[in-house]
Chains A and B, each alone.
Chain A
Amino acid sequence: MKSTLAHPVFLLALLIFLLNQALEGMGIFLRVIHSYSDDLMCLPVVLTPALAGFRYFLGSQFCLPVSKILTALILFSVTMEIILPLFSFRHIADAADVVMYALGGAAFHFLINRPLNDSSDSFTSNPIQSYEP
């Protein structure tokens, strides 16, 4: 669990996210970073703690199935880009945000969502264990 949350890609995404929030809090808005970095970092930052939670119960070899990543992608895209802009002028629908969510999801899947190389027992003997509904 600790190793999952200590993944360098997750820590980098979290650092960039927090840095951007700090800059915005100080009134500094870097155009492209302000618009897209939060969306790009969203799924790695949200799904890595979820992966750590799954691994606590199911073993360190567990990997989130693609269906779970797609569920998160669809939930975030529909809520942030379709539903919220209908009710709040502060939310702006932007198709590029969905692309950023997808890129973040892909980065999570290919870089973070890998079995851990440790000696702890796993749920199955399959080195890349993944639950498919």
Chain B
Amino acid sequence: MDNQQEKRPEEKPGTMNVLEYVFIGFLIMIIGILAVAAA
């Protein structure tokens, strides 16, 4: 039980690049939500 590991997808080439875009998209989405919520 103690050695139970979290399952996650295999690393693939280009994963980091995709995550880069997802990260920027996530930030823009949050900023958009905050901007609309405050408007």
- Give residues in A with beta carbon < 8 Å to B: 1, 46, 50, 53-54, 56-60, 68, 71-72, 75-76, 79-80, 84, 88, 90-91, 119-121, 123, 131, 133
Contact = CB atoms under 8 A, between A and B. Distances in A.
Question: Secondary structure of the B side of the interface?
Answer: helix
Contacts of B2: 119
Interface of B: 2-3, 5-6, 8-9, 11, 15-16, 19-20, 22-24, 26-28, 30-31, 34-35, 38-39
Contacts of B26: 50, 53
Question: Secondary structure of the A side of the interface?
Answer: helix
Given A71-B27, A76-B27, 17 more contacts: A53-B22, A57-B11, A57-B19, A58-B11, A58-B16, A58-B19, A75-B28, A75-B31, A76-B31, A80-B34, A84-B35, A84-B38, A90-B38, A119-B2, A121-B5, A131-B16, A133-B20
